[in-house]
Structures are given as C-alpha cells and as structure tokens.
Amino acid sequence: MAGEYTLARLAELLGGELAGDGSVVVRQVAPPERAGPHDIVFVAQARYLAALQSSRAGAVILPPEARDASALPRIITPNPYLYFARVSALLNPAARPAPGVHERAWVATGARLGPDVSVGPGAVVEEGAEIGARSVIGPNCVIGAGVAMGEDCTLHAGVVVYHGCRLGSRVVLHGGVVIGADGFGLANDAGRWVKIPQIGRVVIGDDVEVGANSTIDRGALDDTVIGDGVKIDNLVQIGHNVSIGAHTAIAACVGIAGSTRVGAHCLIGGAAMIHGHIEIADKVIISAATAIGKSLREPGTYTGIFPSARHQDWQRNAARVRHLDELAERVKALENHLQTREKSS
C-alpha cells in the first residue's frame, strides 16, 4: 500500500541535503536492526550511530554532526526525527474509506454533510449536525445534535460526541473517545447531591488528536476549550471548563480537574494529575506521575514523585516520613542545646 520514492525524490519533496547515491529506492521506514535495502532509517543524534553499524538499511537520515559517519546513501537535516515523520507520512498515507453514507449508518434528515464525507456502518449523526468536507465518521460513532466539525477530521470507531460540541479541521479522535459528557458539577442539599446542568460545550481547535477512551467534559456555563495543535494520549480526563493552550502535549492517564487553565506548548507526563481551578504557564513541563496542586506561573520542569525501591528498603524509609516533623524538631533541639553549651562554656 505504501508508495516508493528514490532518495533524491524524497530530498526534492521534503528538503534536506542528499549525500551518496540518490537513486536508491525507498519503500518503507524501519528501525535499523531490521531494515532492509529498501528501508530508510534515522539516527537522531550522533551518539546513537552504533545502531547503524550492522544495519542493512538502504538509506539513512542523519544530523549534520554525523554527516560523514555512514557510507549509506543519506539525507542530512537538523531534525532527523521530524524528517523521518515526514517520510513515513509520504510512504504510509492513511487508508481512507470510500466517501458516502454507509447503508447501515443513520443520518438525521437535518444533518448536513460536506463533500466526500464518509459515514461508516452503524454510525449515527443526529439532527442539525454539520460535518465538514472529507471528514470520516467511523463505524458505530455517535455524533450528537447540532455538533459542528471542520474538514478532514477522522473519527475512529466508537467515538461519541455529545450535542452542540465544536471540532476544528483535521481533528483525529481515536476509538472510544467521549467528547462533551457532563462535567462533575454538584451542589449539596443536606447530604444529597443536586446536579448543576452543564450547559457549556467542548470547543476543539484545528489539528487536535485525542487518544483512545479519553474523555473531555462539556463546560458548566462556559465552554471547555482545547487549543489548536493539542495532542492528547489515551485514557486522559479533561474536566469541565478546562482550557488547554495551543500545541500542548498530554501523555496517557493524565487527569486535569475542572476550570484549570493549562498554557501553550506545555508537556504533561503520563499519569500526572492536575488539580482544579489553577493556572499552568506556557512551556511548563510536568514530570510523569506528578500531582500538581498549585498554580505554576513560570516555565520550567516540575516534579513530585519519589523513585521506588525494594519493598523492604522503601518501607523502612517511608515509616520515617510519618515522623519527619518530630525528627526535624529533634535536630532543632540538638542545635539549640549545643549553642547554649557553647555560650555557657
């Protein structure tokens, strides 16, 4: 299914500097250890060059500092991983179902589908929804009433988008994603919970991708907003009225509680947990499995997780944490005691 290109043609299309035999035919990307004569590989940094030594790859993408580190036909570029991404996209265009509404789909009469939209078997598009040109609604997806989405979106199988939500263009939602369920808004009435109707929407920008089974809740009053170019991994929960700045990437199993504002160009590590009603500045990096309880107003890396240890070692130290305040008081007492003695002697 993948195409094939000469190395010279790749350089023409994607840039970079060609070195060595440009006529080598490239059919696929591969890791060095199992690449064959029609595969292209990449080396991100000079220190990973060892992997090339025994590789049978036909061509390689190299950074400038490794320009002459290989005799293979090669392309020199400042960001080999990015170049590799582009070569791979060229060689592996996404399979696209035929346009049209499948006989087993159900589309409400008042829904509007742009040109060349594809609606898969079992998919449901409710009243008033608008689907932009060439967008693909996968099998068994459910698009709620009045949803609007842009062009060239791809919703994989089993996605649910609740009524009224907005998606930009080129949005990708993976299997099982739920967009626009009610936020967790409750008032307490003498011990019983009374639901706050969630009347905001989810508004997603262009070029956003959301991983399998992640959930983004609709806003309580205002909207939950996901900026352009945001990338979200699997099993991530975004609470109501959260806003995520453009080009932020969020790894798997992260939770972001309600009304928190995350800046642009942030990196949030897997299983990080971010409290509600706080602000995270642009370009903040949060380490994996870190809980963030307060606003982070400066860029930089923030961490909150202890390295694990052998169970017995861990237990011995962990038990001491429960008496750390007392330990600190004892150190203070020792200091005071010595100071008093020094003075008196």
Which of 234, 260, 266, 281 is in the footprint of a copy of itself by CB under 8 A?
Answer: 234
Binding mask 10-49 for a copy of itself (x = CB under 8 A): ------------------xxxx--x---------------
- Annotation marks residue 337 as catalytic: no
The helix-helix angle for 80-91 and 7-14 (nearest 10°) equals 110
User: Which one of the spans 5-13, 17-25, 64-72, 194-202 is the region binding a copy of itself (CB under 8 A)?
Assistant: 194-202
**Nearest approach, Cβ of residue 18 and a copy of itself (Å):** 20
What are 265's two structure tokens?
């160009």
Report the residue number, 37 or 304, with the smaller CB distance to a copy of itself: 304
Which of 6, 38, 56, 79 is in the footprint of a copy of itself by CB under 8 A?
Answer: 79
Q: Is residue 278 near a copy of itself by the rule CB under 8 A?
A: no
Report the residue number, 67 or 323, with the smaller CB distance to a copy of itself: 323
Report the residue number, 310 or 343, with the smaller CB distance to a copy of itself: 310
Q: Characterize the bridge pairing of strands 231-232 and 106-107.
A: unpaired
Residue list 45-74, contact with a copy of itself (CB under 8 A): none
Region of 245 please: left (phi>0), alpha (psi -120 to 50) or beta. Answer: beta
Q: What is the CA radius of gyration of the chain?
A: 27
Burial 138-148 (b: 16+ CB within 10 A, else e): bbbbbbbebbb
**Nearest approach, Cβ of residue 284 and a copy of itself (Å):** 11
User: Which one of the spans 8-16, 49-57, 62-70, 181-189 is the region binding a copy of itself (CB under 8 A)?
Assistant: 181-189
**Which of 171, 180, 311, 190 shows the shortest CA–CA distance to 229?**
171
**Nearest approach, Cβ of residue 154 and a copy of itself (Å):** 10
Inter-residue contact 83 to 16 (CB < 8 Å): yes
Which of 5, 57, 132, 162 is in the footprint of a copy of itself by CB under 8 A?
Answer: 162
- Site residue total, a copy of itself (CB under 8 A): 127
The CA-based dihedral angle spanning residues 34, 36, 39, 45, taken in that order and rounded to the nearest 10 degrees: 50
In residues, how long is the chain? Answer: 345
DSSP 8-class letter at 305: -
Q: Is residue 184 near a copy of itself by the rule CB under 8 A?
A: yes
Report the residue number, 71 or 127, with the smaller CB distance to a copy of itself: 127
Report the residue number, 34 or 71, with the smaller CB distance to a copy of itself: 34
Beta bridge partners of 291: 273
Cα separation of 288 and 267, whole Å? 10
Q: Is residue 124 near a copy of itself by the rule CB under 8 A?
A: yes
Q: Is residue 315 near a copy of itself by the rule CB under 8 A?
A: yes
DSSP 8-class letter at 296: B
**Nearest approach, Cβ of residue 229 and a copy of itself (Å):** 6
Separation in Å, CA 124 to CA 4, 16, 170, 172: 38, 45, 20, 18
What are 7's two structure tokens?
């190395």
DSSP code per residue over 230-258 = -EE-TT-EE-TT-EE-TT-EE-TT-EE-T
Q: Is residue 229 near a copy of itself by the rule CB under 8 A?
A: yes
Which of 121, 128, 130, 133 is in the footprint of a copy of itself by CB under 8 A?
Answer: 121
Catalytic annotation, residues: 240
